[in-house]
Amino acid sequence: MTRLTLEQVSATFTEKFLLSGQLGKASSQYIPGGYSRNSLTFGPHAIFVESGDGQYINTVEGHRLLDFHNNFSCSITGHNHPRIREALEELVPKGFSFGNPMSHECELAQILCERIEAVEKVIFSCSASESCLSAIRIARANTGRNKIAKFEGGYHGIGDEFMMSLHPIIAPGMMFPGPETNPIPVANTAGIPKHTQENVVVLPQNDLDSCERILRANASDTAGLIMELQTGAGGVVVLEQEFVQGIREITQELGILMIIDETVTLRADYHGMQGLYGVTPDLVVLGKAIGGGMPIGAVAGRARYFEMGDQGMVYHSGTHHGHPIATIAGIACLEVMDEQAYARLNAYGKRIKDELTQWASDTDHPFFIYGVGSHLGYEITGAGHAPRSCRDILQYSNEDHMQIFAFEMANRGVFPMYRGQITLSEPMVDADIDMFIKTTKDIVTEIFA
């Protein structure tokens, strides 16, 4: 067995996805970077798709890849699901862009209210980024305070406030600024106004004492604390249940609205990850899966925080908000994702974690796979444990090994997220899970051969 090198797997990738590379290059003449999402780059370039069906994507080169990426967790029902297609086929002939509401919007809102305890009212938008912005506007309006608290490593879309302290600023291998117990906010993109930075309080993950100290010091002007219970874009870190319960108590005492961003973690459970943890926030942000693959976001939560909106004091609107295509697809998607579907996907997630954890321990490989439900993180790390913070990932994860793993997965017919994550989809069957487990073992073994 020969050891896999980054040079070799990159060369295979470039050759296998040659047309994608060419399309990206041609497209960059008109679109900076070749496509409108920075996050699509998978190593040297994005893999262009021709189509998708069920648990597969078909690339422009004609390769059929088992999709463990699922559009950054969005496509929980896989691709081109018949139930979603039927719903769209029913709608489209009727027209789909009006200056009038359609009834699907209310139906989707009702489903969300029934599933998630904290959700009594819902306002839709076209993306979770927009809904995160609405959430902090609602928090500011209701508290009369300015600042917003977030976690280091937490992603809440592309709003100015949220692009703080997602990644360490400059280059791979750089640490976040400030001590672990007292992180210093840092902008992750050029173009953030200074006054925005002054309004963001950054907290360390899974460190309740430090969070309490920082929140108390800023309480008089902090409107809301936004958090993912398991992070995604900043690297997968599970916020521990006791820690989250502690945050709930502190925010309640200090009058800071707790906003749980379930854009990804709605995957964790029929009632959201907040249901799994038994924590009820003030506001909730939703997105991705609730649109069945169509563009959507929602800010939701306790009815009292939406009263100012009812009175016309907090403005919310958008040409495509509550769009019938997104809401009808979302209804179909959530109907497919009933409690049995969640249980089946989560059992697959557990099987992947259990089998690979046992194997890594038996064979002494520094491979960790962890996470809740059907969105899992993996790291090839010398830490000796799964990461408890984004700083852990940065400090211990072997970037070269992670890249080799991701490229070689794609080379061998499995498409994970580039940044150490996988998500499962409803059409997956036992053979797909077998394939993922076997391919993982093979590649990790060859990395250390």
Ligand X SMILES: Cc1ncc(COP(=O)(O)O)c(C=O)c1O
List of residues contacting ligand X (CB under 6 A): 72, 127-129, 132, 155-157, 228, 232-233, 261, 263-264, 287, 297
The smaller minimum CB distance to ligand X, of residues 261 and 408, is found at 261
Alpha-carbon gap, residue 408 to 196, rounded angstroms: 41
Alpha-carbon gap, residue 246 to 232, rounded angstroms: 22
Half-sphere exposure of 290 (CA within 13 A, CB side): 37
Closest distance to ligand X from the beta carbon of 64 (Å): 26
Closest distance to ligand X from the beta carbon of 297 (Å): 5
The smaller minimum CB distance to ligand X, of residues 105 and 355, is found at 105
Alpha-carbon gap, residue 34 to 11, rounded angstroms: 21
Closest distance to ligand X from the beta carbon of 38 (Å): 11
Angle between helices 82-91 and 324-336 (to 10 degrees): 150
Inter-residue contact 227 to 192 (CB < 8 Å): no
The smaller minimum CB distance to ligand X, of residues 122 and 444, is found at 122
Closest distance to ligand X from the beta carbon of 127 (Å): 3
- Annotated catalytic residue within 207, 261, 269, 432: 261
Closest distance to ligand X from the beta carbon of 213 (Å): 26
- How big, in percent rounded to 5, are the helix, strand and coil portions of the chain? 45, 15, 40
- Give 381's strand partners: 397
The smaller minimum CB distance to ligand X, of residues 37 and 85, is found at 37
Q: Identify whether 370 is a catalytic site residue.
A: no
* Helices within 304-338 (DSSP H only): 307-310, 324-336
Token representation of residue 394:
């940065």
Q: Which residue type does 375 have? A: H
Closest CA relative to residue 124, chosen from 321, 313, 330, 310: 321
Give the length of the chain: 449
Burial environment of residue 332 by CB neighbours within 10 A (0 to 12, 13 to 18, 19 or more)? buried
In the structure, how many helices (H) and strands (E) does the chain have? 15, 14
The smaller minimum CB distance to ligand X, of residues 219 and 247, is found at 247
Closest distance to ligand X from the beta carbon of 112 (Å): 16
Q: Identify whether 418 is a catalytic site residue.
A: no
- Annotated catalytic residue within 288, 348, 353, 378: 288
The smaller minimum CB distance to ligand X, of residues 16 and 69, is found at 69
- Give 260's strand partners: 227, 284
Closest CA relative to residue 415, chosen from 442, 436, 441, 444: 436
Supply the residues annotated as catalytic. Answer: 155, 261, 288
